[in-house]
Amino acid sequence: MNKTNITLNDALNKGYDLDFGIVFEKAFENYKKIALIGGITIILIVILLFALFGTLIGSLVGLNTLTETLTENSILNFGIEYILIFFGSMVLLSAILSPIGAGFLKMAHLADHNQDFSIGTVFEYYKTKYFKELFFSTFLITIVNVGLSTVLDYFEIPVIGSLISYSISFFTFLTVPLIIFSDLSAIDAISTSAKLVTKQQIVIIGLAVVSFFLIMFGLIAFCIGVFFTLPFWYSLTYSIYNQAVPINKTSEIEEIGSFLE
């Protein structure tokens, strides 16, 4: 058992301190290091996804027809087969994109240790042993999250669906760092994330709320600026994890590097 996992067990058994001011300050300082490259990367990813799915959907049903249909109707007004296709597509897309979130956390980790990183850093987990666990964990979380939300929307109780969706996202947001930094399996990472968040949920809620308004400031003030404020969430997630389960060495960086070689 490495030092990080010993610290993780201590955090689960004895609890851990999470100082709002310290976490936010460290997150913001680290965010300033990754904001530019992170923002450019997000813009490139969004452009790529729009081009890919716009071309695919446009060729299948016609982009104008689809836009008019979705504007006038909810997805729930379609037949069950279309709802299932939509549901499956959302789950699969989230799972396929899961290593990108891990890549942003690695970028924050590298920045915290003053190591070099680039746009390519975000995509490196597609080539590591962690891809399977990242894919599976996101698949499970999304299938439950989107599934419950869709069912509750269908029965016209969307408020409860939204509350459940936010709760699932909140209690599982440490799943990815637990996989890539503590080497946990998908199931263990999900359950451990919920246990860690429960121990400091008030402080984490406060940090999440502040993070939300900071990110939205980029949308309100600069519109496209949201792409450059969004990396703050990954910096905050890393800082929360690093204070709860301190990463004492850069062994994770070295391990990934050697695996890629």
3-state secondary structure of 230: coil
Pick the closest to residue 228 from 31, 35, 30, 27 (CA basis).
35
The shares of helix, strand and coil residues in the chain, as percent rounded to the nearest 5, are 85, 0, 15
Token pair recorded at residue 217? 């400031």
Residue with tokens 């081009």: 51
Token pair recorded at residue 122? 């975000």
pLDDT of 88: 81
pLDDT of 79: 58
pLDDT of 219: 73
Q: How far apart are the C-alpha atoms of 239 and 204, rounded to whole Å? A: 11
Q: How far apart are the C-alpha atoms of 90 and 86, rounded to whole Å? A: 6
Q: How far apart are the C-alpha atoms of 162 and 2, rounded to whole Å? A: 39
pLDDT averaged per 10 residues, the chain (length 261): 75 94 96 96 92 64 51 55 74 93 96 95 95 96 87 80 90 97 96 96 96 85 81 97 81 49 45
**157-174: string of b/e by CB count within 10 Å (b at 16+)?**
eeeebeeebeebebbbbb
pLDDT of 259: 47
Token pair recorded at residue 175? 């799943």
pLDDT of 75: 54
Pick the closest to residue 111 from 245, 242, 258, 18 (CA basis).
242
pLDDT of 243: 94
3-state secondary structure of 193: helix
Quickly count: other Cβ atoms within 10 Å of residue 123's Cβ: 14
Pick the closest to residue 200 from 241, 161, 162 (CA basis).
241
* Dihedral sign computed on CA atoms, order 126, 128, 132, 138: negative
CB 86 within 8 A of CB 53: no
Quickly count: other Cβ atoms within 10 Å of residue 12's Cβ: 15
pLDDT of 57: 57
Q: What is the CA radius of gyration of the chain?
A: 19
Token pair recorded at residue 88? 């499956």
